[in-house]
């Protein structure tokens, strides 16, 4: 994604694709200049929220059909 390739910061990631999350759990630490971090913060949060919503809905659907022939 071009937006993120232009943003310079260091990230330590604790959770990865497919990991389940618990409310309040730390998923990553970001280090860099405040201005640089804030430039990407809202976009990153929106993206995470959107993807988490899809993952949650998918997980609920899988649980509903679990044990059936679906």
pLDDT at 8: 78
pLDDT at 31: 92
DSSP assignments along the chain, one per residue: -HHHHT---EEEE---TT----TT---EEEES-HHHHHHHHHHHHHHHHHHHHHHHHHHHHHHHHTTS--
Going 56 to 16 to 33 to 24, the CA torsion angle's sign is positive
Q: What is the pTM of this model?
A: 0.67
| Residue 69 counted as domain residue | no
Residue 69's pLDDT band, with cuts at 50, 70 and 90, is confident
- State how many domains the chain has: 1
| Residue 9 counted as domain residue | yes
| Residue 67 counted as domain residue | no
Q: What digits encode the pLDDT tens for the residues 8-56?
A: 788 899 999 889 889 999 999 999 989 888 888 899 899 999 999 999 9
12 near 28, Cβ under 8 Å?
A: yes
3 near 43, Cβ under 8 Å?
A: yes
What is the span of the domain harbouring residue 49? 2-62
């Amino acid at each position: 994604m071009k937006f993120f390739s232009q943003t310079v910061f260091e990230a330590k990631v604790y959770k990865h694709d497919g990991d389940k999350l618990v409310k309040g759990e730390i998923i990553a630490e970001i280090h860099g200049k405040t201005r640089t971090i804030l430039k990407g913060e809202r976009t990153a949060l929106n993206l995470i929220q959107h993807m988490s919503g899809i993952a949650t809905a998918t997980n609920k659907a899988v649980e509903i059909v679990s044990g059936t022939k679906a």
